[in-house]
Amino acid sequence: MLLPLVLALHAAVAVLLPPLVRLLGARAFLVAALPPAVSAVWVLVQSPSIVSGAPAVSSVAWVPALGITFDFRVDALSLAMVLLVSGVGAAIFCYSAGYFHAGERGLGRLAAVLVLFSGAMLGVVTTDNLFALYVFWELTSVTSFLLVGHDDRKEHARRAATQALVTTAGFGLLMLIGFVLLGAIGGTYRISELVADPPVDSPWLPLALVLVLAGAFAKSAQAPLHFWLPGAMVAPTPVSAYLHAAAMVKGGVYLVARLAPGFADVDPWRALVLGFGVATMIVGGWRALRQDDLKLLLAYGTVSQLGFLIVLGGAGTHVAAIALIGVLLGHGFFKSTLFLTVGVIDHQTGTRSISGLSGIGRRMPVLAVAATLAAASMAGLPPLLGFVGKEAGLEAFVPGHAGDLPPAVALAVLAGLVVGSVLTFAYSARFVWGAFADKATVSERRFKRPSPAFTAAPVALGALSLALGLLPFAVDPVAQSYAAPFPAEKPYHLALWHGFTPALGLTVLVVAAGAAMFLRRRSVARLQNAMPRWPDAEVGYHLFVHAVYGTALSVTRRTQSGSLPVYLGIILATLLALPGVRLAAALVSGETPLPGGADFRFWDSPLEAVVAVIVVVTAVGTVREHRRFAALILISALGFGIAGLFVLHGAPDLALTLVLVETLTTIILVFVLRRLPATFSVRPNGWAKRMTVLLCSAAGTFIAVSLWLMTAARTEEPISTGFTDLAEETGGRNLVNIILADFRALDTFGEIVVLATAAVAVASLVLLNRRDRVVDEPTEEDAEEEAEAEAEGAAAAAPGAGPAPAGGAPADGAAPTDTRGGERP
Partner 1 sequence: MNAPGFLLVVTVAVLYSSGFYLLLQRSLMRVVFGILILGHAANLSLMLTDTAITLPPLLTGQDGQISDPLPQAMALTAIVITFGVTTFLLALAYRVWLGDDNDEVPADLEDRRIGRLTEPEDSS
Least separation in angstroms between CB 656 and partner 1: 9
Regarding 774 and contact with partner 1 (CB under 8 A), the answer is yes
Closer of 383 and 569 to partner 1 (Cβ): 569
Regarding 791 and contact with partner 1 (CB under 8 A), the answer is no
Q: Which of 187, 605, 803, 806 binds partner 1 (CB under 8 A)?
A: 605
Closer of 201 and 716 to partner 1 (Cβ): 716
Closer of 67 and 718 to partner 1 (Cβ): 718
Least separation in angstroms between CB 716 and partner 1: 9
Regarding 412 and contact with partner 1 (CB under 8 A), the answer is no
Phi, psi at residue 716, to the nearest 5°?
-95, 155
Could you tell me which residues come within 8 angstroms of residue 111 by beta carbon, excluding any fewer than 6 positions away? Answer: 17, 18, 20, 21, 28, 29, 32, 96
Q: Which of 707, 745, 794, 814 binds partner 1 (CB under 8 A)?
A: 707
Find the helix packing angle between 687-712 and 564-575, rounded to 10°: 40
Decide if 31 contacts 13 (C-beta within 8 A).
Answer: yes
Distance CA 345, CA 322 (A): 35
Regarding 701 and contact with partner 1 (CB under 8 A), the answer is yes
Regarding 441 and contact with partner 1 (CB under 8 A), the answer is no
Least separation in angstroms between CB 99 and partner 1: 26
Regarding 620 and contact with partner 1 (CB under 8 A), the answer is yes
Decide if 569 contacts 695 (C-beta within 8 A).
Answer: yes
Q: Which of 604, 690, 749, 806 binds partner 1 (CB under 8 A)?
A: 604
Least separation in angstroms between CB 507 and partner 1: 46
Closer of 534 and 549 to partner 1 (Cβ): 549
Distance CA 654, CA 593 (A): 32
Regarding 523 and contact with partner 1 (CB under 8 A), the answer is no
Regarding 719 and contact with partner 1 (CB under 8 A), the answer is yes
Supply the Cα-derived Rg of the chain in whole angstroms: 38
Q: What is the largest CA-CA distance in the chain?
A: 113
Find the helix packing angle between 385-395 and 502-519, rounded to 10°: 120
DSSP state letter for 719? G
Closer of 587 and 740 to partner 1 (Cβ): 740
Least separation in angstroms between CB 470 and partner 1: 48
Q: What is the total count of residues that contact partner 1 (CB under 8 A)? A: 126
Q: Which of 615, 633, 637, 791 binds partner 1 (CB under 8 A)?
A: 615
Least separation in angstroms between CB 346 and partner 1: 25
Regarding 669 and contact with partner 1 (CB under 8 A), the answer is yes
Regarding 526 and contact with partner 1 (CB under 8 A), the answer is no
Q: Which of 197, 536, 792, 818 binds partner 1 (CB under 8 A)?
A: 792
Closer of 677 and 805 to partner 1 (Cβ): 677
Closer of 11 and 783 to partner 1 (Cβ): 783
Least separation in angstroms between CB 555 and partner 1: 10
Distance CA 239, CA 642 (A): 74
Q: Which of 537, 712, 726, 804 binds partner 1 (CB under 8 A)?
A: 712
Least separation in angstroms between CB 260 and partner 1: 38
Residues 577-596 that bind partner 1 (CB under 8 A): 595
Q: Which of 406, 603, 690, 794 binds partner 1 (CB under 8 A)?
A: 603
Least separation in angstroms between CB 681 and partner 1: 6
What is the pattern of x (binds partner 1, CB under 8 A) and - over residues 155-184? x--xx--x----------------------
Closer of 223 and 658 to partner 1 (Cβ): 658
Residues 671-700 that bind partner 1 (CB under 8 A): 672-673, 675-677, 680-681, 683, 692-693, 695-697, 699-700
DSSP output for 175-238: HHHHHHHHHHHHT--BHHHHHHS--TT-TTHHHHHHHHHHHHHHHTT-TTSTTHHHHGGGS-HH
Considering only 6-14, 418-426, 455-463, 563-571, which stretch makes contact with partner 1 by CB under 8 A? 563-571
Residues 486-515 that bind partner 1 (CB under 8 A): none
Least separation in angstroms between CB 621 and partner 1: 9
Regarding 627 and contact with partner 1 (CB under 8 A), the answer is no
Least separation in angstroms between CB 804 and partner 1: 14
- Which residue, 310, 291, 151, is CA-closest to 225? 310
Regarding 727 and contact with partner 1 (CB under 8 A), the answer is yes
CA 589 to chain centre: 47
Closer of 585 and 656 to partner 1 (Cβ): 656
Residues 634-663 that bind partner 1 (CB under 8 A): 635, 638-639, 642, 645-646, 648-654, 657-658, 661
Helix (H) / strand (E) containing 61:
strand 56-63
Least separation in angstroms between CB 803 and partner 1: 12
The runs of H, that is alpha helices, within 350-483 are 360-363, 365-379, 385-395, 407-436, 452-470, 476-483
DSSP output for 485-537: TS--SS-----S---S-HHHHHHHHHHHHHHHHHHTHHHHHHHHHHSPPPP-H
Regarding 602 and contact with partner 1 (CB under 8 A), the answer is yes
575 sits in the region (left: phi over 0; alpha: psi -120 to 50; else beta) called: alpha
255 sits in the region (left: phi over 0; alpha: psi -120 to 50; else beta) called: alpha
Q: Which of 619, 726, 804, 809 binds partner 1 (CB under 8 A)?
A: 619
Regarding 742 and contact with partner 1 (CB under 8 A), the answer is no
Distance CA 601, CA 77 (A): 80
Closer of 439 and 628 to partner 1 (Cβ): 628
Closer of 602 and 687 to partner 1 (Cβ): 602
- Which residue, 38, 37, 39, 128, is CA-closest to 90? 37
**Total length of the chain:** 825
Find the helix packing angle between 130-148 and 250-263, rounded to 10°: 160
Distance CA 616, CA 641 (A): 9
Other C-beta atoms lying within 10 Å of the C-beta of residue 220: 30
Burial classification of residue 53, based on how many CB atoms lie within 10 Å of its CB (0-12 exposed, 13-18 middle, 19 or more buried): exposed
Beta bridge pairs of residue 61: 69
Regarding 539 and contact with partner 1 (CB under 8 A), the answer is no
DSSP state letter for 713? T
Q: Which of 467, 771, 806, 814 binds partner 1 (CB under 8 A)?
A: 771
Regarding 786 and contact with partner 1 (CB under 8 A), the answer is yes
Considering only 277-285, 394-402, 406-414, 767-775, which stretch makes contact with partner 1 by CB under 8 A? 767-775
Q: Which of 8, 15, 704, 794 binds partner 1 (CB under 8 A)?
A: 704
Closer of 188 and 657 to partner 1 (Cβ): 657
Regarding 448 and contact with partner 1 (CB under 8 A), the answer is no
Q: Please name the amino acid found at residue 552.
A: A
Regarding 608 and contact with partner 1 (CB under 8 A), the answer is yes
Could you tell me which residues come within 8 angstroms of residue 821 by beta carbon, excluding any fewer than 6 positions away? Answer: none
Residues 110-139 that bind partner 1 (CB under 8 A): none
- Which residue, 494, 463, 293, is CA-closest to 391? 494
